[in-house]
Structure 1
């Protein structure tokens, strides 16, 4: 399978962005390929198209499956797995955000809760405790906001997104 220049550029850019997001370049490139392909692909096809080692592709596919971004299906008469990405971009972003929340954000909130409590008893200066508390409270507020928005139906979420900065016109100006 030959990739068009635009397809190749999309995959390369997604791989570069992946490294900036803390994701292995090959994992991000495989995800990009599966995301834009119109039909599922076998691991062998992914290897051929991207020029990656089979072991690298297998590891990346397992990682993408653990994030629920890629699923494996079977076809009659073929013993191989066929892999496809979540096609709906909104669903894909929601899975990524939720995964990062679980792996990164919530553990940070838990750590801040522990150190803030510990700081009350270990002689941490008042100003430092106040900063820790402010950080914890802000992160908890952001997480609560995220959860509130996440509970809304998608149509409402999309409406809120489309409103975007227009909401600022209805808010008091600062300064």
Structure 2
């Protein structure tokens, strides 16, 4: 459990999350029961204020939910348990925070570049960048609307198709170690 939490904290810091925020998420992710902020602070040996700040950030990422229990005034916290839902949530939040604003900015920049003295080569590069990013976003939106079973089938087919197109279909795949 400790190794998982420590690794998740390291991984989170590489993805732009504060290490302690990622550790809070890790503990909630592997915990079979909802935990209070006090339980999180005690288990992780972090200040209560650090836990509170981390929980707010995780809620902003939509990775943690708050619940209540009858007769108890404390908040209980749970993380998204299903890995597929977790990954989809992270992708969707990052899309909203990072990708969509970039698409909007590129659209505006492209429009202005068409009307000013921007060199044609630069305009073409801006247009190519915008069109490629928009195509990827449209693809993501189409895939995200599919039912989970269809998404899983696409993942499996995509892996086989990638191997086929790269010419490695005849090469045996390396088995991953199970820990």
2:156 is matched with which residue?
162
Q: What CA distance in whole angstroms lies between the structure 2 residues aligned with 1:14 and 1:48?
A: 18
**Does residue 27 in structure 1 map to residue 21 in structure 2?**
yes
Report how far residue 64 of structure 1 moved: 1.1
Q: Which residue of 2 aligns with 1:89?
A: 83
Alignment RMSD, CA only?
Answer: 1.6
Deviates more, 1:28-37 or 1:9-18: 9-18
Find the counterpart in structure 1 of residue 7 from structure 2.
13
Q: Which residue of 1 aligns with 2:95?
A: 101
Residues 162-171 or 16-25, more deviating: 162-171
- In the alignment, which of 108, 120, 125 is matched to residue 126 of structure 1? 120
Q: 1:72 to 1:125 in 2, by over 3 A?
A: same
Matched residues in 2 for 1:153 and 1:106: separation?
A: 23
Q: Which residue of 1 aligns with 2:46?
A: 52
Task: Measure how far apart 1:91 and its partner are.
Answer: 0.7
Structure 1 residue ranges, 4+ long, deviating more than 3 angstroms after superposition = 168-173
Residue 4 of structure 1 is matched in structure 2 by: none
Q: How far, CA to CA, are the matches of 1:14 and 1:172 in structure 2? A: 32
Gaps of 5+ in 1: 1-6
Paired residue for 1:3?
Answer: none
Deviation string, structure 1 residues 43-79 (Cα, Å, up to 9, x no partner)? 0010011111111111111111122211111112221
Q: Distance in 2 between matches of 1:63 and 1:168?
A: 37
Whole-angstrom distance in 1 between the partners of 2:166 and 2:69: 58
| Counterpart-to-counterpart distance in 2, 1:109 and 1:143 | 9
Q: CA–CA distance in 1 between the matches of 2:16 and 2:162? A: 33
Q: Identify the residue that residue 73 of structure 2 maps to in structure 1.
A: 79
Question: How many residues in Structure 1 have an aligned counterpart in Structure 2?
Answer: 167
Question: Per-residue deviation at 1:172?
Answer: 9.7
Inter-partner Cα distance in structure 2 for 1:26 and 1:172: 40
Q: Give, in whole Å, the separation in 2 of the partners of 1:100 and 1:169.
A: 28
CA distance in 2 between partners of 1:172 and 1:49 (Å): 47
